[in-house]
Homo-oligomer: A and B are copies of this chain.
Amino acid sequence: MNVTVAQKRLIEKLGVFFEGQGRTPAEARIIGLLLVGDQLELTLEEIQQTLSISKSAVNNAINVLLLTQQLEYVTKPGDRKKYYRSKIEQWMSHVEQHVEKSLEGRTLLREALEQRTKSTKEFNVALKDMIDFMEFVQSHHLDLFAKWKKSKGRS
């Protein structure tokens, strides 16, 4: 498997970004490689050699990414190797999930609001506002998602 210098650079940039999203360096670079590389399907060994990561690290990362539905693999008849590829069609729902996750603390905040002393009125109102806002955004997200699917279906 060959990647150009430019591709390597971009893989690293994507790597840093995905690390920021909570993935390990190895996971992040594997995602990057499968997004950038010319070949869509790569074996464990190819990934290992292209990225210079140990076999075990690649294996662990791959299995995490399989569990989280970011990768899938295909097989070929009479070939024991697995060919891993980015499950890119699923990424839309991933974006959704990720956005939703950034709003999931809502429930805890509501708990906090309920448990709070009632004597700090101004603060409690501000807190409630924040919770309402998160709810508002979340509810409109469902709409957005639906709208998108519709507009995609039409085009």
Contacts and interface: CB of A to CB of B under 8 A. Distances in A.
Interface of A: 6-7, 10, 13-14, 17-18, 21, 35-36, 38, 40, 86, 88-89, 91-92, 95, 98-99, 101-105, 108-109, 111-112, 115-117, 119-120, 123, 126-127, 129-130, 133-134, 136-137, 140-141, 144, 148, 152
Number of copies: 2
A92 B14 contact: no
Contacts of A148: 133, 136-137
A129 B112 contact: no
B115 A6 contact: yes
10 contacts: A35-B112, A36-B112, A88-B123, A91-B130, A95-B103, A99-B137, A101-B102, A133-B148, A137-B141, A137-B148
Contacts of A40: 120, 123
